[in-house]
Amino acid sequence: MNATDLMSLTGIGNFSGNPRYLSKETDVDMEELIIHEGWLLITCSGTIGRVFYVPKRLDG
In a domain, residue 23? The reply is: no
So what's the pLDDT on residue 51?
86
Residue 20 lies in a domain: no
Residue 18 included in any domain: no
Note down the domain range covering 57: 1-13+30-60
- Whether pTM > 0.85 for this model: the answer is no
- Torsion angle, alpha carbons of 10, 12, 34, 60, to 10: 110
Q: Where are the alpha helices (DSSP H) in 1-60?
A: 3-12
Residues 43/5, Cβ–Cβ less than 8 Å: no
DSSP bridge partners of 42: 51
Task: Please indicate, yes or no, if residue 25 is contained in any of the structural domains.
Answer: no
Domains: count for the chain = 1
Which residues of the chain, if any, have pLDDT below 50? none
Instruction: Return the pLDDT at 54.
Output: 86
Please indicate, yes or no, if residue 22 is contained in any of the structural domains: no
Q: What is the pLDDT of residue 18?
A: 65
Q: What is the pLDDT of residue 28?
A: 81
User: Is residue 41 in some structural domain?
Assistant: yes
Within 8 A by CB and 6+ apart from 37, the residues are 54, 55, 56, 58, 59
> Is residue 46 domain-resident?
yes
